[in-house]
Amino acid sequence: MPTNYMPSADDLIRFSPELILTIAGTLLMVLDPLFAKKLPRMFGHISIAAFLAAIVGAFAAQSVMGSSFSNLLIVDGFATFFRVLVLVIGILAVLLSYRYLDREMAETGEYHALLLFCVAGQCLMAASNDLIMIFIGLEISSIATYILAGYLRNDRRNNEAALKYFLLGSFATAFLLYGVAIIYGITGTTKLDEIRTALMQPGISLAGVTIAAALMIVGLGFKISAAPFQMWAPDVYQGAPAPVSVFMATAPKAAAFAVFLRIFMTSFQTIANDWEPLIWISALLSMTIGNFAALTQNNLKRMMAYSAIAHAGYILVAFAAKSDGGTAAVMFYLAAYALMNVGAFAVIIHICGKGERHLRIEDLSGLAQKQPVTAALLTIFLLSLIGVPLTGGFFGKFYIFRAALESNLIWLTVLGLLNSAVAAYYYLRILVVMYMKEPGEVTNTLEPLSPGLGAALVLPAIGTFVLGIIPGAVLNFARASSMLGK
Amino acid sequence: MNLLDLLIAIPAIGFIVALLIPRVMENAIRMIALVFSLVAFVVSLGLAIGYQAGQTGQQFVTNFVWIQNPEIHYHVGIDGLSLWLIILSTFLTPIAILISWKYIHKQSKEFFALLLLLEFGLVGVFAAWDLFLFYVFWEIVLVPMYLLIGIWGHDRRIYAAVKFFLFTMAGSVLMLAAIIFLYNQAGTFDYTTILSQLQSGHIALSHTQETFLFLAFFLAFAIKVPLFPLHTWLPDAHVEAPSAGSLMLASVMLKMGTYGLVRFCVPMFPNAAHENASWINILAIIGIVYGALVAMVQPNMKKLVAYSSVSHLGFVVLGIFSFTQMGLDGAVYQMLNHGISTGALFVLVGFMYERRHSLAISDYGGVATVAPWLSTVFLITTLASVGLPTLNNFVGEFLVLQGAAQANFTWTVFAALGVILSACYMLWMYQRVFFGEVGEGLRHHMPDLNLREWACMVPLVVMMVWMGIYTQTFLAPVSEADTKILSQTEMNNKPVAGALLPAGIPGGSLHAH
């Protein structure tokens, strides 16, 4: 037991992103009555400032790497990578929200506060070294997301999405918690590194541990919308407000993957051969179900939801490689995926109009003639989602399948790559209507691109090219921090 | 930075410049695209002049690390095989721009920019010596062509464009898997290193592994060629594409497939290549005959030329998998010939479409009376395409047939049918379109070639004659590269039971021309 319960300066720095976000979130709640009428955009500006400050905090924490608070929190390269990733997604989500909330006349401090809390929970998840801390982080993030999904409370689809997500989400979290309980029962600890050591002792009931691992796969598989726990995703992503949908498809997913990796690549690494088949099956199912279901969708948000399931499948392929290279590939792909997904959604938010009336694929007809730059940027994201070279999506896929082949997952690689050829079809449908059809009613009356959405298009586009052409820096960082607590 | 880097950079810069010009300045965009493509062509001629004969390795090499880990190099260079294919690309791009000068009105900015992007990708594909880099360029080419077909094509353009994209994509993802597999074995993407490691036995592939790797590469290339029965995307893509798209597609992009076979597939996996040669050649011969027969019954000129491509490319594959010097020389020469003569056919059909707005043979007749020069040029191109001696195709087809005969005479017998059939369908089309009564609708809508059209056709016709008469200009470097590739193909060719190839075929003696 530590004798001194007062946190040291280093402890505070290591915890600074969460502190900054929480303080800013609380501040926004207080400011809500002051600004709501006069300066509604102020909330967004403050959020962005808070996210930027938290990014600085995350880097400061990285400079004093180590564990804090009785080893509950651990700041390593892995944690920093995911913290920065979710914080950047937070900024992009705010940029996406300006115009959307403006259009719905729903700009409040509450929305942004929830977003900040949500990201705070995800930062905590990324840096947790303890199953209970992970659970707390997950719940902070999830509860905020449940509310955000139903944010426009007069909209029936919002309500449906929130309720569905909440019920199924709580159900799935219970599985996770059950797994945690079993592990605690077997090993007597909830600290990830201690579990790892405990599992290497002779006389441990590995059957029980495997069951616990399987239960955790259920709980976390739900959060990352991996098949067969993906049922909720299309309905919730379609029903939630568009900026929240894209946020849900990227940030909580990235954080859940961080937790997934940290638990399974440290604590459960010794029993990797037992859980690998489960991940293998889930990867294949997610890719196949996601891609084939997306083929027939006409609603852009729903299509992107199925695409999110498929991309979770690709990431699970790298996970199934159960190697450091695989971990690095997961990290890289999540970053690339977040950028291209945000970019694609920025265009969806741009065209959908008040009340999200225009969400059919045909609503993008002739966009290239009316707003060629917007169309060109969306093209970049779609090509990245397909996996065409010089984009981050291509390199991400390349690293994933490279890791998989290194671990001799030949069939999974072949099936995954064929899946990505299938996926090309539905992304091409968007390109087709955009470039090869004449402008329709929606594109003819389209508003000019707002500055916020413009930034949410241009920044991810730059990022997509950086990850596709000069991925060295990000990849080296991911590689260097993929060792985790081994 | 040497000439080759410059050549890769010019179209890329042109692409960006064209995108930056405001779209109202249509003429400026066209001019800029033309100027960039002409400069690229001049630079590529520099490659031919600076090319050192007798030196079989790569020339104009640039090699630096692009990405540290995994180590990916920007490694480009040329040898006798890629030299002319690069020049073919740069030679045809200005022509593609010229033939679209008046025809493209809608979104002309994107059109000309994409043509330059296409050129960038094509030059890169033929210049890359790093497998990863090769894949990158290979896929880049896909995007502009998809958009060219889909945006500026004819009625069924969307179907054709999507089909084209998906076919190519499905083939190339497996090639990516094979490339990654090789990387994991060799620890590098560098083609020459991988090749020498394969030959020295440093990478020991089991029989199954070699076969699967061969098939993964082969499928990607065979779809691109296209080899029967994977050809079904081609008639759709050709017919629906705008003339410039058909030109680039037929003349250069199909060669990406055959180039890949010669460059990568055969030397890296010689045992598998030899073992599988028999059924591949049978497919090639089926393609030759089937393509020709289907071409014969086409009512649509463009579709006819498209199926003739299937037939012509069958010769190329047959030449490659005959594993003889003559066959391979002929195959590579035929790649260039097909680029020139079929390209010219697509250009001419495009001219006629601009005048009459129809591709149906039955809408024409008696064109020779109203447009004699157009008819003359068309006749020369037709004769080149059917393989009349003194014109280019004759040389290539002859060499392929000769090479195939050395390997297996039966192949030659059947493949030669294709030569006869090609004369039938081409000349029959010529007769129906250019002779006979002048239709009423035609008389006033069929002006003869104008200056811009002459500017497109003269270089093509000159090349047909030059390549038909003074073969040595082009064939000498090709032959050198082929000799090397053939030696690589045999180096670790352990005798395989059941291989159909008769042993001990002497290398060709074509240099004696």
Eight-state DSSP code of residue B64: E
Q: How far is B150 from chain A (nearest CA, A)?
A: 6
Is residue A380 pLDDT above 90, yes or no?
A: yes
Cα distances (Å, whole numbers) of residue B103 to B30, B242, B275, B351, B354: 12, 9, 48, 9, 7
Determine whether the interchain pair B170/A476 forms a contact, defined as Cβ–Cβ distance below 8 Å.
no
Determine whether the interchain pair A470/B67 forms a contact, defined as Cβ–Cβ distance below 8 Å.
yes
Determine whether the interchain pair A435/B174 forms a contact, defined as Cβ–Cβ distance below 8 Å.
no
Determine whether the interchain pair B184/A420 forms a contact, defined as Cβ–Cβ distance below 8 Å.
no
Determine whether the interchain pair B67/A472 forms a contact, defined as Cβ–Cβ distance below 8 Å.
yes
Paired with A191 in beta bridges are A130
Q: Name every residue whose Cβ is closer than 8 Å to that of residue B20 and which is 6 or more positions away in sequence.
A: none
- Residue B186, chain A, CB below 8 Å: the answer is no
Determine whether the interchain pair B180/A402 forms a contact, defined as Cβ–Cβ distance below 8 Å.
yes
- Residue A411, chain B, CB below 8 Å: the answer is no
Determine whether the interchain pair B177/A413 forms a contact, defined as Cβ–Cβ distance below 8 Å.
yes
What is the Cα–Cα distance from B483 to B80, expressed in whole angstroms? Answer: 10
Strands (E) located in A174-303: none
What are the boundaries of each domain within chain A?
A: 9-480
> What residue of A is the nearest CA neighbor of B23?
A372
The answer to whether A308 and A426 are in contact (CB under 8 A) is no
The amino acid present at A39, given as its one-letter code, is L
Which residue in B69, B107, B176 is closest to A417 by CB distance? B176
Q: Which of A38-42, A116-120, B317-321, B373-377 has the lowest mean pLDDT?
A: A38-42
Which residue in B139, B140, B150 is closest to A436 by CB distance? B150
What is the Cα–Cα distance from B9 to B227, expressed in whole angstroms? Answer: 32
Determine whether the interchain pair B170/A414 forms a contact, defined as Cβ–Cβ distance below 8 Å.
no
Q: Name every residue whose Cβ is closer than 8 Å to that of residue B281 and which is 6 or more positions away in sequence.
A: B317, B318, B321, B322, B404, B408, B411
A-facing residues of B in 60-89 (CB < 8 A) are 67-70
What is the Cα–Cα distance from B426 to B444, expressed in whole angstroms? Answer: 26
Q: How far is B180 from chain A (nearest CA, A)?
A: 6
Which residue do the tokens 């191109």 mark? B381
Alpha carbon A404 to its chain's center: 22
Q: Which of A269, A359, A356, A254 is nearest to A312 (CA)?
A: A254
Classify residue B470 as exposed, middle or buried by CB count within 10 Å of its CB (0-12, 13-18, 19+): exposed
Query: What is the pLDDT, as a whole number, of residue A4?
Result: 65
Q: How far apart are the first and last CA of chain A?
A: 24
- Three-class secondary structure of residue B303 per DSSP: helix
Side-chain-side CA neighbours of residue A459 (13 Å): 17
Which residues of chain A lie closer than 8 angstroms to B211, CB-CB?
A: none
A-facing residues of B in 194-253 (CB < 8 A) are none
Q: Which of B94, B120, B85 is nearest to B14 (CA)?
A: B120
Which residue in A388, A401, A436 is closest to B177 by CB distance? A401
- Three-class secondary structure of residue B386 per DSSP: helix
- Residue A420, chain B, CB below 8 Å: the answer is yes
**Positive or negative, the Cα torsion across B173, B175, B181, B185?**
negative
Residue B66 backbone phi and psi in degrees, to 5: -90, -55
Which residue in B158, B173, B180 is closest to A420 by CB distance? B173
Q: How far is A402 from chain B (nearest CA, A)?
A: 6
Determine whether the interchain pair B139/A479 forms a contact, defined as Cβ–Cβ distance below 8 Å.
no
Determine whether the interchain pair B177/A431 forms a contact, defined as Cβ–Cβ distance below 8 Å.
no
DSSP characters for A121-157?
A: HHHHHHTB-BHHHHHHHHHHHHHHHHHHHT-STT-HH
Q: How far is B147 from chain A (nearest CA, A)?
A: 8
Average pLDDT per run of 10 along chain B, which is 513 residues long?
87 89 84 91 88 79 82 87 90 91 81 91 92 91 89 85 87 89 88 85 83 91 88 88 89 91 89 88 91 90 90 90 88 90 91 84 81 88 87 87 85 86 88 81 78 88 88 82 80 45 41 40
Q: Can you read off the two tokens belonging to residue A18?
A: 């969460």
Eight-state DSSP code of residue B63: E
What is the Cα–Cα distance from B364 to B442, expressed in whole angstroms? Answer: 7
> What residue of B is the nearest CA neighbor of A383?
B143
Determine whether the interchain pair A421/B169 forms a contact, defined as Cβ–Cβ distance below 8 Å.
yes
The neighbour count for residue A9, using CB atoms within 10 Å, is 8
Q: Which of B173, B179, B223 to mutate to test the interface with A (most CBs of A within 10 A)?
A: B173
Q: What band does A256 get if pLDDT is binned at 50, 70 and 90?
A: very high
Determine whether the interchain pair A418/B183 forms a contact, defined as Cβ–Cβ distance below 8 Å.
no
- Three-class secondary structure of residue A290 per DSSP: helix
Eight-state DSSP code of residue A450: P
Q: What mean pLDDT comes out for the span A372-382?
A: 91
- Residue A244, chain B, CB below 8 Å: the answer is no
Determine whether the interchain pair A431/B170 forms a contact, defined as Cβ–Cβ distance below 8 Å.
no
Which residue in A398, A428, A479 is closest to B165 by CB distance? A428
Eight-state DSSP code of residue B251: I
- Residue B180, chain A, CB below 8 Å: the answer is yes
- This complex has an ipTM of 0.87
Query: What is the pLDDT, as a whole number, of residue B411?
Result: 85
Which residues of chain B lie closer than 8 angstroms to A426, CB-CB?
A: none
What are the boundaries of each domain within chain B?
A: 269-490
Q: How far is B489 from chain A (nearest CA, A)?
A: 27
Eight-state DSSP code of residue B300: B
Determine whether the interchain pair A472/B68 forms a contact, defined as Cβ–Cβ distance below 8 Å.
yes
Query: What is the pLDDT, as a whole number, of residue A486?
Result: 61
Cα distances (Å, whole numbers) of residue A48 to A40, A91, A144, A231, B253: 14, 6, 18, 33, 48
Write down the pTM of the prediction.
Answer: 0.89
What is the Cα–Cα distance from A456 to A454, expressed in whole angstroms? Answer: 5
Determine whether the interchain pair A405/B184 forms a contact, defined as Cβ–Cβ distance below 8 Å.
yes
Which residues of chain B lie closer than 8 angstroms to A428, CB-CB?
A: 146, 162, 165-166
Cis amide linkage into residue A228, ω under 30° from 0: yes
Q: What band does A166 get if pLDDT is binned at 50, 70 and 90?
A: very high
Alpha carbon B393 to its chain's center: 14
Which residues of chain A lie closer than 8 angstroms to B158, CB-CB?
A: 432, 436
Which residues of chain A lie closer than 8 angstroms to B67, CB-CB?
A: 470-472, 475
The answer to whether B83 and B447 are in contact (CB under 8 A) is no
Determine whether the interchain pair A421/B110 forms a contact, defined as Cβ–Cβ distance below 8 Å.
no
Backbone conformation region of residue B504, classed left if phi is above 0, alpha if psi is from -120 to 50, else beta: left
Query: What is the pLDDT, as a whole number, of residue A480?
Result: 86
What is the Cα–Cα distance from B460 to B448, expressed in whole angstroms? Answer: 18
Query: What is the pLDDT, as a whole number, of residue B496?
Result: 43
What is the Cα–Cα distance from B382 to A4, expressed in whole angstroms? Answer: 93
The amino acid present at B414, given as its one-letter code, is F
Average pLDDT, chain A: 89
Task: Give the highest mean pLDDT range of A90-94, A415-419, A433-437, B318-322.
Answer: A90-94
Which residues of chain B lie closer than 8 angstroms to A367, CB-CB?
A: none
DSSP characters for B196-243?
A: HHHHHTSS---HHHHHHHHHHHHHHHHHHTTPTTSTTHHHHHHHHS-H
Which residues of chain B lie closer than 8 angstroms to A372, CB-CB?
A: 23, 110
Query: What is the pLDDT, as a whole number, of residue B100?
Result: 87
- Residue A471, chain B, CB below 8 Å: the answer is yes
The answer to whether A105 and A114 are in contact (CB under 8 A) is no
Eight-state DSSP code of residue B227: P
- Three-class secondary structure of residue B5 per DSSP: helix
What is the Cα–Cα distance from B265 to B227, expressed in whole angstroms? Answer: 15
Q: Which of A428, A430, A470, A475 to mutate to test the interface with B (most CBs of B within 10 A)?
A: A428
Q: Give the model confidence (pLDDT) of A303-349 as tens digits.
A: 999 999 999 999 999 999 988 889 999 999 999 999 999 999 999 99
Which residue do the tokens 């058909």 mark? B246
Determine whether the interchain pair A402/B23 forms a contact, defined as Cβ–Cβ distance below 8 Å.
no
Find the radius of gyration of the CA atoms of chain B. Answer: 22
> What residue of B is the nearest CA neighbor of A380?
B143
Q: Which of A445, A365, A377, A366 is nearest to B106 (CA)?
A: A366
Q: Name every residue whose Cβ is closer than 8 Å to that of residue A334 and which is 6 or more positions away in sequence.
A: A82, A85, A253, A254, A257, A315
What is the Cα–Cα distance from B466 to B391, expressed in whole angstroms? Answer: 8
Determine whether the interchain pair B184/A406 forms a contact, defined as Cβ–Cβ distance below 8 Å.
yes
**Between A and B, how many residue pairs show a Cβ–Cβ distance under 8 A?**
85
Q: Give the model confidence (pLDDT) of A180-196 as tens digits.
A: 999 999 888 888 888 88
The answer to whether A462 and A377 are in contact (CB under 8 A) is no
Query: What is the pLDDT, as a whole number, of residue B492?
Result: 54
What is the Cα–Cα distance from A441 to A453, expressed in whole angstroms? Answer: 21
What is the Cα–Cα distance from B456 to B76, expressed in whole angstroms? Answer: 30
What is the Cα–Cα distance from B198 to B185, expressed in whole angstroms? Answer: 10
- Residue B130, chain A, CB below 8 Å: the answer is no
